[in-house]
Chain A
C-alpha cells in the first residue's frame, strides 16, 4: 500500500518539502496541514513589496492551486494539528479527524512574540507574520496616518520604510541603544538610522514601551517609560518570534529552543523529521548548533528533510544568508556576526554602497553588503572557507574580495 507522508505547517519549508518529494518521484499520499487560509507562500515580501502594494498576494504563492491538484498533494488549510501520537503514528486535527502517517515532517515555524502591555487589546495594534497581517496593516496605511513601530529590527524598519514611502508619519521605538542591535555593527545601525531620518522617519532608541492608550476601542497613543506619549493611528510591533515546538515536545520529541534535529533533519523519533525556523540544528560550517529564522534555511533544510524521508541522506550545512530591503537600499547578509567581532568598513559609507566585514580571531565570519551585491556573492565563499584575511586588505576597495 502507498505510504502517507504528512507535513505539519504550510509555510515555505512545508511547501518546499512537498515539491521536493514529488520532484524526487515520491508517489504516495502527501498531506499538508496548515493553520492559515493561504497556499504555502513566501513571507519575505510581506514586509516589503506586498505591504507597499507592488506585489500581488498571489505572486507570493510557491505554487498555484492547480499544482496541488495536478500533483495530488492534499492541502488541509485552516486546520491545526492538536496532537501527535508517535506510538500509533497518527495525528489529531482541530476538526476532530485522525490522520495516520508513515513519515511526518514538522515545519511549524514560529509565531510572533506578543507584548502583553496594558491596552494590548485595542484595535489597530498589529504584528506582521502572515498575509492576513499585511493586508490588515495595509487597510490602515494612508497618507498622513501616524504609524508607530515598536521594535527597530528588520521587520520594524522594513515596515517603517514602506510606511514612509506611502506617506505615513512614522515613529520607530527601539528599546536598545541602536536599531538592528543584535544583527549588525554600530556603523550599519547609524547609517540606516540616518537614511530613515532622511525619509522623515523618527527613530527613538533606548525607549521601552509601557502601555497603549486608546479611545473608542482603537489605539491612540503608545506610551514609553520616559512618560512620552506617541500619537498613533496604527501600531506595528516587531519584537521577534517564538518557535512553535510545543506540539513536538508534548509528543516526547527532543526539543531545546526548537525541535532538535541532526544534519539530515531527523528528530529523535525515527519517522519524524523537522525543517525551517522551528529546528535547532547542527551546522558543520559554523561548528555549532543553532536555530535560524530565514528563507534560505527553510528551503535548504526542507529539501534535506524531504530527501531523508525518502531514505537519501544528504547533510545540510550552509552559511546562512539573509537580505533586507529598505528604500533603495539592499542589504545582503552573509554569516552570523557577534557583538565582539572586529569590524572592517569596506568602501565609503557616504557613497551608500559599502560592506561591513566581521572578523573573529582573524577569520572572516560575516559580511553586510549594502548596495554591494558583488561583495555578498564573494563573501559567501570566503566565509564558508573560513578565510583569514588581513583587515587592511579587506578595507582596500581596490583589491577585489575574490582575490583575497
Chain B
C-alpha cells in the first residue's frame, strides 16, 4: 500500500491507501473518484487525465510519445499532466499527490 493524496474535480482533498502494482487510474476507479477512464487503461482515450504534484513529477516516470500526443490535444493540459492509466503505483510512490483534471 502507498498513501495517495487526491484532489477531486470539486477541489476536495482526500487520501486513499493505493494498491501497489496496479495503475493510478485503477486505484482512482476503485475508490469512486469521478473520472471517465473509458478505454480501461489502453492509452486510447485520454479520459483519465490527472495533474501530478510538482514534487512527484520526476518520480512517476516519463510519458510515452503516444500519451503525450493524446494529452497535447486536451484544453486543460499542463506541464504536470499525465494519463493516470500509464502510471503503475510502486512502494516508492507513498505520498503521491495529484489532482484530477476537469472533464472535457
Interface residues of A (CB under 8 A from B): 19, 22-23, 42, 44-45, 48-49, 59-60, 62-64, 67, 295-296, 299, 321, 323, 325, 330, 332, 371-374, 376-378, 402
Contacts and interface: CB of A to CB of B under 8 A. Distances in A.
Given A49-B42, A377-B70, 9 more contacts: A42-B40, A59-B41, A60-B40, A62-B29, A67-B30, A330-B44, A374-B69, A374-B70, A377-B46
A321 B11 CA distance: 30
B65 to A, nearest CB: 9
B6 to A, nearest CB: 15
Given A19-B32, A59-B26, A323-B45, A295 B73 contact: no
A321 B44 CA distance: 10
Contacts, number: 58
A64 B38 contact: no
A330 B39 contact: no
B74 A296 contact: no
B36 A299 contact: yes
Contact of A23 (B30, B34, B46): B34
Interface in B61-98: 66, 69-70, 72-74
Chain B interface residue number, banded = 20 to 34
B22 interface: yes
A48 to B, nearest CB: 8
B51 to A, nearest CB: 18
A325 B42 contact: yes
A378 B40 contact: no
A48 B39 CA distance: 13
Contacts of A44: 39-40, 42
A289 B83 CA distance: 33
A378 B45 contact: no
A376 B43 CA distance: 12
Nearest to B70: A373
B66 A330 contact: yes
Given A59-B26, A64-B30, A377 B74 contact: yes
A126 B41 CA distance: 26
B83 to A, nearest CB: 11
Contacts of B34: 23
Nearest 5 pairs of A and B residues by beta carbon:
A377-B73, A323-B44, A373-B69, A42-B40, A374-B69
Given A330-B44, A373-B69, A377-B73, A22 B32 contact: yes
Contact of B40 (A67, A295, A377): A295
B42 A373 contact: no
A220 B34 CA distance: 50
19 contacts: A22-B32, A23-B32, A42-B40, A44-B42, A45-B40, A59-B22, A62-B29, A296-B38, A323-B42, A323-B44, A325-B42, A325-B44, A330-B44, A330-B66, A371-B66, A373-B46, A373-B70, A373-B73, A374-B73
Contacts of A373: 46, 66, 69-70, 73
